[in-house]
Amino acid sequence: MRKKRNDRNYILYQLTVDDQTYIGLTVAIGRAFLRSVKVRVQKHRSRALIENKDWSLCKAIQSAEFIEYSVIEVVRGRKNAYARERELIAEYQPELNTF
């Protein structure tokens, strides 16, 4: 049995929808960090427009006039990435992150 990888790169990103923000996390596709975020944002958009989710992010995307995204940082390892995401959410308190 193959050992599970724990050394992948994860990207913490910020998504700005009109004047509200969202902080998220995605797995890096190779070294193409911004492209990885773009693919993740496309998934958010698709889900918001196709599925009927009652989430703040989905509602914001449905009525969005402006969507922008950027890489905040790249973190090695799943545990570290999820811990850092929680830190950033606590620090910046983005409006579109829901728990």
pTM metric for this prediction: 0.89
When pLDDT is cut at 50, 70 and 90, the band that residue 99 belongs to is low
The Cα–Cα gap between 52 and 37 comes to: 23
CATH number for the domain that contains residue 40? 3.40.1440
What range does the domain containing 81 cover? 9-92
CA dist 3 and 15 (Å) reads 33
In a domain, 97, yes or no: no
Per-residue pLDDT band for 10 (boundaries 50, 70, 90) equals very high
In a domain, 32, yes or no: yes
Render the burial of 41-51: b for 16+ CB within 10 Å, e for the rest: beebbeebeee
Q: How many domains does the chain contain in total? A: 1
| pLDDT, tens digit, 9 for 90 and up, residues 15-56 | 999 999 999 999 999 999 999 999 999 999 999 999 978 899
Residue 3 included in any domain: no
Is 4 domain-assigned? no
Percent of the chain whose pLDDT exceeds 70 = 95
How many CB atoms within 10 Å of residue 11?
A: 22
